[in-house]
Amino acid sequence: MRDLMAAVGEVLLFWGFLETAIRGRLAVIDTVAVEAKPATKASVLAQWRNAEADRGDARVVQLFADIEEVAALRNCLAHGLSSASADPWSGKEAKVVCLAPDGSRSVTITEMQDAKDYLHGMTNRVRDLSI
């Protein structure tokens, strides 16, 4: 169970790293300092999408699509966790169950480990955009 809960935490932490990289990108492309802007309820991803809208960078368009693939998993883990199961003697992989708007979704520890690696790669891709 500890490994399962650690995997959930790692996905959320790596999402935070991605958002930090996105904030860095916003600071690079935005003409007004990010800190000086009025508070908004829009997600960092939405703010970035708006800031990049007129730039037409194909790398960014692809990156948005790639991030959306894992955003649903992150949202499920962050907002919909409802149960967890980890019985090493059952022969079944440890998993959590999330309640999503379209029903429940099971997420295995392997899926979370893959998502963490995927998020790490996307964070580096966002940082590379700033160069």
pLDDT digits (tens, 9 = 90+) for 27-54: 888 755 445 555 677 889 888 888 888 7
Confidence (pTM): 0.86
Structure tokens at 127: 């940082």
How many domains is the chain partitioned into structurally?
1
Query: Among 20, 62, 10, which residue's Cα sits nearest to residue 45?
Result: 20
On the question of pLDDT at 13 being above 50, the answer is yes
3-state SS assignment for residue 79: helix
Q: Is the pLDDT of residue 129 over 80?
A: yes
**C-alpha to C-alpha distance for 131 and 114, rounded to whole angstroms:** 27
> What is the pLDDT averaged over residues 118-130?
92
Angstrom distance (rounded) from CA 11 to CA 75: 10
The predicted-structure confidence for 71-96, as pLDDT tens digits, reads as follows 999 999 999 999 999 888 888 899 99
Res 33: pLDDT = 46
Domain residues for the domain of 104 are 2-129
Q: Which long-range contacts (CB under 8 A, 24 or more apart) does 12-15 make?
A: 12/74, 12/77, 12/78, 14/115, 14/116, 14/119, 14/120, 14/123, 15/74, 15/78, 15/119
Mean pLDDT of the 120-124 span: 96
Task: Decide: helix, strand or coil at residue 102.
Answer: coil
